[in-house]
């Protein structure tokens, strides 16, 4: 994490001289950010990391000598540093970018594709700032030891402290796996370890599980969603993610979860056994139609510099008379998006959950929500799925 008041030192790693120039010129306009060097391949990058000690890397995926994901994995095992991955917007590039997030990258950004290309607004600098605010940790593998990257000394592992769940009824007997944080929140086994089905009590057709996240959120969401069973109320998700990458993100979750996950489209019906992910570049608005909600995508102006915005999702659910047994969840992320909306959900009588500081990549959005009294229950990441299950488990209420 960058020291308060210090300029953020950035190393740009890309085999394209044009991209290195575009990134450098873009960041040169930011008084709080300094590009301390560039590298055209991972081997040169390794030497410059040791020499220049940057706070953040921007990293291309397709490079000569060693691809970016392989380099990223080696880096996270021995010398973790916040990384923003630059990837093409093509489908293969999007899938690779999601793999990079799983390997430890903080965030992703579409690469400029020509000499006149530019980043929208301040998206690059904002992602650099969010990355600099994250807390990287060594990424331990389940097998073997830590593989070091020659020339870079291994950093000290600082495991996250385990918190105590605050929601009554969260099963104390369920195993809690400690989290060892990389630049993303690491997770339990990637297999579909959630119960495939479980007895659930009846709930209203307009019950919802609403979730919002930003920096570090793709892995945090994966941790929660892969530990949920099928048959829960409809799930609506806003993750701050660039357009086109959201499709690959939803597809990846669909491969791992016990229920269907897909990118939302206009007119989608929110229903049990389905999770909908807001597409990058579009707000996801819920409209009440009879006893159900339908999705309406909007290109209205960004909120908190974000589109999609978590506040838009949360507030639209309230306007549609969301049932009070619904749940609002706010996970890791920079800024304050979702805090105000979560407060509205709590005021409306919903259960609200905020991820705790120890397990957040960036404790920004949950902190803002907690400070305004929006968070009813502060939980470590590994307890959030259990809390959601308990809300709807048949054993959580007295049988009729």
* Contact indicator for 208, 288 with CB cutoff of 8 Å: no
Q: Would you give the DSSP letter of residue 152?
A: S
Q: Which residues contact 123 (CB under 8 A, 6 or more apart)?
A: 109, 242
Is 214 considered catalytic here?
yes
- How does DSSP assign 8-66, residue by residue? EEEEEE-S-HHHHHHHHHHHHT-TTEEEEEEESSHHHHHHHHHHH--SEEEEESS-SSS
Selected catalytic residue, list 337, 344, 383, 386: 337
- Which residue's structure tokens are 């690059």? 124
The encoded tokens of residue 184 equal 């993303």
d(CA 359, CA 163): 9
Rounded CA gap, 193 and 170, in Å? Answer: 18
Q: Which of 240, 283, 304, 377 is catalytic?
A: 240
Q: Give the position of tokens 């970018």.
A: 97
DSSP state, 248? H
The one catalytic residue in 78, 207, 214, 326 is 214
The reply to whether 79 belongs to the active site is: no
The catalytic residues are 214, 240, 337
């Amino acid at each position: 994490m960058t020291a308060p008041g210090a300029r953020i030192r950035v190393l740009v790693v890309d085999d394209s001289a044009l991209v290195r120039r575009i990134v450098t010129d873009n960041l040169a306009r930011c008084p709080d950010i300094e590009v301390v060097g560039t590298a055209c391949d991972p081997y040169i990058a390794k030497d410059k990391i040791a020499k220049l000690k940057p706070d953040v890397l921007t990293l291309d995926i397709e490079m000569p000598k060693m691809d970016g994901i392989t380099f990223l994995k080696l880096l996270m095992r021995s010398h973790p540093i916040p990384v923003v991955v630059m990837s093409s917007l093509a489908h293969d590039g999007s899938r690779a970018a999601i793999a990079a997030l799983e390997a430890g990258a903080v965030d992703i950004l579409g690469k400029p594709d020509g000499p006149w290309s530019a980043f929208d607004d301040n998206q690059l600098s904002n992602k650099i700032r969010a990355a600099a605010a994250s807390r990287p940790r060594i990424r331990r593998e389940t097998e073997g030891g830590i593989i070091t990257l020659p020339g870079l000394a291994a950093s000290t592992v600082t495991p996250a402290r385990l918190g105590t769940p605050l929601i009554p009824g969260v099963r104390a007997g369920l195993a809690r796996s400690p989290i060892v944080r990389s630049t993303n929140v690491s997770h339990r086994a990637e297999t579909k370890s959630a119960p495939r089905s479980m007895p659930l009590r009846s709930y209203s057709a307009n019950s919802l599980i609403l979730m919002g996240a930003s920096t570090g959120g793709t892995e945090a969401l994966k941790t929660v969603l892969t530990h949920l069973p099928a048959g829960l109320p409809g799930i609506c998700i806003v993750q701050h993610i660039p357009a086109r990458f959201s499709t690959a993100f939803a597809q990846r979750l669909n491969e791992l979860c016990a229920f269907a996950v897909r990118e939302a489209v206009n007119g989608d019906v929110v229903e049990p056994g389905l999770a909908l992910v807001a597409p990058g570049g579009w707000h996801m608005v819920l409209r009440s139609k009879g006893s159900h909600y339908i999705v309406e995508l909007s290109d209205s102006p960004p909120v908190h510099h974000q589109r999609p915005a978590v506040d838009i999702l949360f507030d639209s659910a309230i306007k549609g008379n969301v049932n009070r047994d619904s749940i609002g969840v706010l996970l890791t992320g920079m800024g304050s998006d979702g805090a105000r909306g979560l407060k509205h959900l709590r005021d409306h009588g919903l259960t609200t959950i905020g991820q705790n500081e120890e397990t957040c990549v960036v404790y920004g959005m949950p902190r803002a929500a907690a400070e305004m009294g929006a968070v009813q229950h502060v939980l470590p990441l590994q307890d959030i799925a259990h809390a959601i299950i308990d809300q709807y488990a048949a054993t959580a209420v007295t049988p009729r």
